[in-house]
Amino acid sequence: MTPSYKGRFAPSPTGFLHVGNAWVALLAWLDARRAGGSFILRIEDLDEARSRPAYRQAILEDLRWLGIDWDEGPDVGGPSAPYEQRRRRGLYEQVLARLMAKRELYPCFCARSRLLSIASAPHGLFADEPRYDRRCLRLSDAERAALAAAKAPSLRLHVADDALVTVDDRLLGSTTARPSEGGDFVVRRADGVIAYHLAVVVDDHAMGVTDVIRGADLFPSAFRQAYLAERLGYATPRYAHVPLVVDEDGRRLAKRHGDLALRSLRQLGVPSERLVGMLLWLAGQMDRPEPVRPAEAVRAFDLGRVPRVAVVWREAYTAQLKANAGS
């Protein structure tokens, strides 16, 4: 038992949860309950233009249908309320002010078109994005004032070139990298929206999160977030980046897979136990996909048995679930 364990699931209400989201939520919940710890539901709705109240409500309903509960969250409250990021902006602004006072941040006036055209692409962990060339870091005060009169800037964290960060991942092992290889990153967008990296670091610290289980696509983010946490004097949570669930073409499950939305499966009458059993089988926890409730799987759960490579969701699995609809 690990009474101090506190895990979380933090979806964005920009669409209905799908099987890929259920995979991460289930593994995170089972690991927390197996450790005898507590579990937080946090709604990451920083981008209010894309978030919808209907999706927020659906998240609560779909997770409960799945058999997942939480000790702290937007509907049950808790010591770290509020649990919706759009209501936590004041806290983020306080942290930004701290970083600004320490000269860790600088305004960036570059247009998106310029950022996309930057030829200096990083390698390794950050290969999927262009590396910012620090053009705005080198601006004079006069140049910044002139640009600010015409355009609101984003804010970037200046990442020290020689900084090394080690992430000890429970599934992927220990990896050391230089966050600067990905370039200075945005912590507040030009439109005023707080960036993901800042919000997640601040919230995990404020909410006492000790363990984070999330998709492997966010593994590179761990190095930036650990670096930012260090700059703020925060402890870094223990990570486990689980493989993504992909379709038969190798594409991660997303909103385009509408028939795999939990809401769609519910409406068809698919028993949640069938889906949970399928996911636990794919996670190496069962010999075959049999109906089971999450609470029944806690005692035998072992995160170490989760595969290290992407999990393929085959159309036959969907057909099997639909064949059991109403049963």
Output the CA angle 318-321-324, nearest 5 degrees. 150
**What DSSP designation does 239 have?**
E
Instruction: Report d(CA 284, CA 243) in Å as an integer.
Output: 12
Instruction: Report d(CA 278, CA 288) in Å as an integer.
Output: 8
Nearest CA among 10, 13, 84, 83 for reference residue 55: 13
User: Could you list the active site residues?
Assistant: 255
| Tokens read off for 121 | 């692409």
Question: One-letter amino acid identity for 46?
Answer: L
For the CA atoms of the chain, what is the radius of gyration?
A: 21
| Tokens read off for 181 | 């290889």
Q: In what order do the strands lie in the sheet with 185-188?
A: 105-108, 154-157, 185-188
| Tokens read off for 51 | 């978030």
Distance of CA 305 to the CA centre of its chain: 22
| Tokens read off for 180 | 């600067």
Instruction: Report d(CA 11, CA 41) in Å as an integer.
Output: 8
